[in-house]
Amino acid sequence: MGIRELVENKQVPEVITQGLMKENYATYFNTLLNMEKLYLEKEMRCHDMERITMSRKGANLLALVVLGVVERRPSLVHGDFAFAMLASQSENDTYPP
């Protein structure tokens, strides 16, 4: 069973329960990093929003209020992506039409 499946089933990977030893150093920390990545994915999904209204800010910008965000997390920085679609648009549609 992979790390994702174990974590989703609230199980601890065996290498973590064994504890840190020189024989499993790389595997142990790799597993911890993967578990942290899965946790951050879950945290980001809690900010998913549907059927919200954006407000116009100038000629080319839209603003979006995200409730529950503290300490600028999650944050968007130059180069990040935020995906949005019109409420009347399906996920299979492509833009521009």
How confident is the model over 48-72, as pLDDT tens digits? Answer: 777 788 888 888 888 877 776 666 6
Paired residues of 70 in beta bridges: 73
Structure token digits, residue 12: 């601890």
pTM to 2 decimal places: 0.60
pLDDT for residue 95: 53
Q: Containing H/E element for 59? A: none
- Give the residue from 35, 33, 43 showing the smallest Cα distance to 12: 35
How confident is the model over 14-47, as pLDDT tens digits? Answer: 999 999 999 999 999 999 999 999 998 888 787 7
